[in-house]
Structure 1
Amino acid sequence: MESSSDFQGLLATLLEAVERGEKIDRERLLREHPQYAESLCQFVDNDQFLRAGVQSSKPEEGASGSHSIDPMATIDPLLTLDSQDESRASSESRWSYGQLTAASFPVEFGDYSLLCEIDRGGMGIVYKAQHNTLRRIVALKVLRSGELSNPEELARFRAEAEATAGIEHPNIVSIFEVGEVRGLVFFTMAFVDGENLSTIVRRERMLAKEAARIVSRVADAVGAAHQRGIIHRDLKPSNLLLDAMGEPHLIDFGLAKTGANASLTCAGQILGTPAYMAPEQARGTDVTPACDVYALGGVLYELVSGEAPFIGPTPVDILLQVLNREAPSARTVNKQVPRALDRIINRAMQKKPEERYESAIALQQDLQRFILGEPIERSHSSLWERAEVWWRREPVLVSHLVGIFFVLCVVIVSILIRGTSLYASRWILGLLTLWGVCSFPIQKLSVYKRFRELVYFAWLSIDVVIYTTLIFMATPPRGLLLIGYPMMIAASGLFYRSRFVVFVTGISILGFIGLWASVDDPFKERLEFGVIYASGLIVLAICLLAMIRRIRGLVDYFAGGENIRGEE
């Protein structure tokens, strides 16, 4: 993937070419730099629009054969005029979506007047519009790529309209018309005067029963889609509009999977928004109605907790969590979430599809039971399955507890072999107990994203300090106990952050140097032992950093291509 400096150099080259009066070959640009397609198109559009405006401000020249310049003549428009429309060119504005501002509206678009822009998504731009003949307000969605769209984008756009039109449900926005205006494909749908749930939940969390009511209605709508063989694949709060009456409306079937468009999805292609993806969808494998059930659980989770089930700085970070971890319990994030609703969320978001609700309708029915105060269906899970869920949900905490448990076992075995009294070892046992108990409140604090990174650094520091103290207090020989430092460095890789690995390696080496200087132990007899040991810690850290860098390198792959969609 090209760096930001390469991109800046590319823009500088384009500017120089424009200054020399050269024509910019869009197709070649997009072919050579697909990862910057949208930015490059907007740059070219905006530059041409600005130059057209400057030219239009020049005074008309006299009767010397010159002519006035059409303000839009130099723009490479998205709307291509047919020969029969040329007579109307002077009365109709030719425009590009990248050039429209608040001052541009209203804009005539076929039989519609575009009044304002509502939203921009992965494939299209949605405008509030008025049908000039019927005098009806609608939402009009135009394919965002315009004339640069490829056949797959056009097919997906048309498939979205067909999928939405094929479902009749009061909580799914109705499609009115699908058409094309001078090369721009569009469709119109019912205009919902309201906000999307993502905007609402950013202001405040919803009450449990209100959130359950909304998701219950959406689950019923999703169930109706499933009965028509349509899987939405991108259910999230921003794709749910809440009208003035508090009714939710499901929109954006741009990534919907139907029998007609199944060929648009390749094996291994990841479509959707990572935070709400089911694990099998994140792997790019089988996508079934169970994926939508999982996403409904994720939407309900965010409505009651105030944050998405998984949070990370990049899509890849989130995908790794989706694949390998359980989301923190919604009740952990917000204590006001009733236990019954928390169980519904947990069941809907199970990693294995067969352990979720068997359908969106089954989820809807359980939500209705919760709203009415009736007992919900309980899923039966074994003790081993519960332990597995706990491990995926709290891998760092479980790793700590398991490590502390083994250290405690080693200490107890050592006491028994040497015949030392428990009273003499009370400080070591007490410190181990304190170490284990402290892990729980630290884990609770790490749930809150504003404290998370600081808590992790503090946690790692406490681990190394306590372990170094335990080694200091232990009876010689202590050499075998030094195995704890590489174990802690390896465990720091669970965070998938290079800075954590470097931090733990650094303080582990400092702890080892402190022990070397302060204790009298046989491992100090040969200096080369200390050098080899410290070098081993560094080599382990370098190996971990290389693995993390390789994983993080997936960010380049996903950002450079278009395998993750639907994040807007």
Structure 2
Amino acid sequence: MTDESNEQSEQVEVLNQYLDFLQRQDDASCQSLRAVNPELKPLMACLDSLERLAPQSDSDPESVELGPDDATLPVSPHASRQAPPLLAREFGNYELLEELGRGGMGIVYKARQKDLNRVVALKTILSNQFASEDEVRRFYLEAQAAGRLQHANIVAIHEVGQHLGQHYFTMDFIGGGSLASPDFRPLSQMAPDNYYEVASLMQQVAEAVEYLHSKEIIHRDLKPSNILIDEAGQAYVTDFGLAKLYDGLPGGSGTDARTQTGMIVGTPGYMSPEQAAGQLDQISTRSDIFCLGIILYELMTGVSPFKHSSPLDSLVAVIEGEPALPHSHNRNIPRSLELVCLKCLEKDPALRYQSARELAADLERFIAGEPLQAQPAGMIQKFQRWFRRKPALVSRLSAILLAVGIIQTVYSTQGVDLNYHLRIMSLFGLWGALVVFFQFGLDHFPNKKRVRYCWSAADVALLTGLLMLADAPIGILLIGYPMLIVSSGLFFYVRLVLFTTVLSLLSFAVLVLARSELVELWQYPVIYAMVLAILGMITAYQIYRVRVLSRYYELRRP
């Protein structure tokens, strides 16, 4: 009788939970319970019918999408307009009070632990009973990684377990939100004295990360939503779902299913270049330093340095791009704090802080007004940063200056017609001025895509004008069209590549009509035009493939 009574109690609890999911319009969880409890399907069908007969509320049926993208990001004030509030419901020894957030893998709730009467954060697997073995293993690896850590600035784990087939673990509830919360303002909206508060905040985070590294753990997903702030202003590092566990951790491995070479692990826009390139064997503690630099940059400026509208653009920016100097967003940012940030964001890991302890020490020096370990960049580093920040401008200006130098040398040594020389040099001067103008447009105009199209058209037109003026033979100069087609692919827009290809073909046709020597052997211009068309199609197709892979990655990203 006791066994039957326990079984009936468990079935009643399952039906209560099913009814709660129905009222919340959580179809995925309803399907999950039906799949796990087939013997209760007739009773669940009755509940379905009763729920359909119940009067409808005034809430928007499309408001069932809950929470932001990151599992640790608190629901914003606007979320109340997007989702109905979570009614308190039982979950074993816990009472779920409200949903705090959800991500690709888990959901985090604010919950009350009934036996101890305390508020905790409870995290469950997003897919519930449908979770794969790999998802469950990753979930427990996260709990295992966080559970072995005891630090004042790391969220502590309390309990790990299962309830009705749902895996969960509980941790400290931090009521102040995260750095990604709309309530947390960047330095651009703060008083100058707050620079030191932010430096102190980042010092706490750096010390917590140094503790992680001392325990042979690399976080690999440090971002504002994973840094929680309590009401007293103390920072806490959380979310170890992508942490790399070394062989020293029981049950962990330095290379598991998530750490195969070539696999991208992390959040686009908040990862190191070695992560973005899939070079996971190159990931080290210095990778977390780069991520801390991104967070500091965002706190100083209110702008994420590498975050773009698509994952592909974010990854390319992390690998190849260089963010604008922080003081260009806010002139009041102290240069010494900017130096700390830029040292963290060095592409070469050897040029970054070699440990989080070094970063924390430099932040402490900044607060105390002492000289920093970070030093201003030399001329070579400044040029490298400038080139990564404005690659289109630097590459074109370098090519123009090289061409001008060669032409001027020929004019000085061999002598040519002065008027001819002035026309050529004037064309290069116009080209250089337009390059600067279009770069200014990319930096300041809202419609950057239109600027890129205009820039590409201007390049083709000026190259054609140069070929019109140049003395025969011009065969070697025809390499300019293929170079423009390939360089247009650096913006990763298929239509821009096709636009540049078509424009180059039309310009070449005009050039053939204007210069009779190009048609002395008619098959040569035909072959050249075919080569241009094939090159443009191949470049566009490769960019299309990368775009498709980028969308696939976004869908599969945990």
TM-score (norm 2): 0.76
Change (3 A) 1:58 1:273: closer
CA contact 2:468–2:515 (8 Å) conserved in 1: no
Q: 1:285 aligns to what?
A: 281
Correspondence for 2:264 among 248, 270, 284: 270
CA distance in 2, matches of 1:350, 1:195: 30
Deviations 1:110-130 (A, max 9, x none): 122111111002322111111
CA contact 1:333–1:448 (8 Å) conserved in 2: no
Change (3 A) 1:225 1:410: same
CA distance in 2, matches of 1:417, 1:107: 88
1:111 equivalenced with 2:90 (yes/no) = no
Change (3 A) 1:275 1:239: same
1:373 equivalenced with 2:360 (yes/no) = no
Helix, strand or coil at the partner of 1:310: coil
CA distance in 2, matches of 1:375, 1:285: 35
Q: 1:82 aligns to what?
A: none
CA distance in 2, matches of 1:52, 1:434: 78
CA contact 1:464–1:507 (8 Å) conserved in 2: yes
1:432 equivalenced with 2:413 (yes/no) = no
1:225 equivalenced with 2:212 (yes/no) = yes
Matches within 5 A, 1:426-505: 426-447=422-443, 450-505=446-501
Helix, strand or coil at the partner of 1:285: helix
Q: 1:239 aligns to what?
A: 226
Helix, strand or coil at the partner of 2:174: coil
Q: How many matched pairs?
A: 484
Q: 2:238 aligns to what?
A: 251
Change (3 A) 1:57 1:142: closer
Q: 1:179 aligns to what?
A: 161
CA contact 1:214–1:248 (8 Å) conserved in 2: yes
Deviation (angstroms), 1:255: 1.5
Helix, strand or coil at the partner of 2:177: strand
Helix, strand or coil at the partner of 1:464: helix
Deviation (angstroms), 1:107: 0.4
Correspondence for 1:552 among 544, 547, 551: 547
Q: 2:301 aligns to what?
A: 305
CA contact 2:32–2:129 (8 Å) conserved in 1: no
Q: 1:55 aligns to what?
A: 49
CA contact 2:339–2:376 (8 Å) conserved in 1: no
Q: Which amino acid aligns with 1:199?
A: S
Question: Relative contact order: is structure 1 or structure 2 higher (C-alpha 8 Å, sep ≥ 6)?
Answer: 1
Change (3 A) 1:135 1:444: farther
**Equivalent pairs: percent with the same residue?**
36
Q: Which amino acid aligns with 1:221?
A: A
Q: 1:350 aligns to what?
A: 346
TM-score (norm 1): 0.75
CA distance in 2, matches of 1:516, 1:209: 65
Helix, strand or coil at the partner of 2:203: helix
Helix, strand or coil at the partner of 1:276: coil
Q: 1:159 aligns to what?
A: 141
CA distance in 2, matches of 1:144, 1:127: 12
CA distance in 1, matches of 2:457, 2:89: 60
Deviations 1:9-44 (A, max 9, x none): xxxxxxxxxxxxxxxxxxxxxxxxxxxxxx995694
User: Please, which runs of 5 or more residues in structure 2 have no aligned partner?
Assistant: 1-25, 36-40, 54-82
User: Please, which runs of 5 or more residues in structure 1 have no aligned partner?
Assistant: 1-38, 60-100
CA distance in 2, matches of 1:153, 1:529: 59
Change (3 A) 1:58 1:514: closer
Q: Which amino acid aligns with 1:275?
A: G
Correspondence for 1:419 among 415, 418, 435: 415
Deviation (angstroms), 1:193: 1.8
Q: 2:13 aligns to what?
A: none
Deviation (angstroms), 1:102: 3.5
CA contact 1:294–1:356 (8 Å) conserved in 2: yes
CA RMSD for the aligned pairs? 3.4
Deviation (angstroms), 1:157: 1.9
Q: Which amino acid aligns with 1:510?
A: L
CA distance in 1, matches of 2:150, 2:267: 25
